[in-house]
Amino acid sequence: MVVRADKPDLGGGLQYHIRVRPGDVARYVLLPGDPGRVPLIAGFWDEARLIASHREYTTYTGTYRGTPISATSTGIGSPSTAIAVEELLRVGADTFIRVGTTGGIQRCVEVGDLVISSAAVRLEGTSSQYVRVEYPAAASYEVVLALIEAAESLGLRYHVGVTASTDSFYLGQGRPGYRGYKQSWAEKLIPDLQAAGVLNFEMESSALFTLASIYGARAGSICAAVANRVTNEMKPDAGLRDAIRAANEAVRILSEWDEAKEKNGKKYFYPSLIAR
């Protein structure tokens, strides 16, 4: 087998990093960061099977309430997320929902709440290698709406707004580094973002949204707030199961809407489409 350096396909469409091929994943893919969360997500499905596990990328495929669904872990941060999205697109996925954890920077985002990102501040470096920094990192309105519908139907507490995605968990999110290392800009970061109405920090959404927009795919993000930087509270995994439940349910909702679009010959979803 000859593998080309510019197009590292391992043969038969097998992707170099995530080790899946066409037919292995559904069009709808949930994207947790932690590989250990993939079987947790799949535990809510009707049925699930392990497809591949390589490096930080673990993939399961199955069905949720009759809808084909997959989940692939991305590891931490935008560089590995971009690799996952690139290779998932190559095997037929077109709709992505990040599901993970986050830290709130507004007092109203209580520990255990969910944050549905409508857009993201591009404080990571990966997306700038795809397009100029002025290009917006916006979530798909259909995915945002499906996540809201899911959270409402499940009776969950949630917020919708702008997220900040960073490359650094420490200084990049206004925390001191090793031995208290600081920079003046990092000390001003949270107050500046709070003034602009940004809800939370995480590390993947802006790259996900940017790549999805460039490639004509759909993407959204729902994260559980496990920390609040205003109150200085932190509870690891608080609300995570709720975020998973909402993400799974959003896939079912999107599938219904996609069927309605196809039935009516429409490219875009709008509410009255399902009220006909």
159 is catalytic: no
132 is catalytic: no
Are residues 105 and 199 in contact, defined by beta-carbon separation less than 8 angstroms? yes
How far is it, in rounded angstroms, from Cα 54 to Cα 93? 19
Q: Kindly name the residue from 37, 98, 229, 252 that is annotated as catalytic.
A: 229
Are residues 220 and 144 in contact, defined by beta-carbon separation less than 8 angstroms? yes
How far is it, in rounded angstroms, from Cα 232 to Cα 223? 18
Q: Kindly name the residue from 175, 233, 241, 256 that is annotated as catalytic.
A: 175
How far is it, in rounded angstroms, from Cα 60 to Cα 69? 9
How far is it, in rounded angstroms, from Cα 100 to Cα 34? 8
Phi, psi dihedrals of residue 185, rounded to the nearest 5°: -65, -35
How far is it, in rounded angstroms, from Cα 101 to Cα 221? 10
How far is it, in rounded angstroms, from Cα 235 to Cα 229? 12
Would you say how long the chain is, in residues?
Answer: 276
- The token pair that represents 154 in the structure block: 């499940």
87 is catalytic: yes
175 is catalytic: yes
Which residues are known to be catalytic? 17, 87, 175, 229
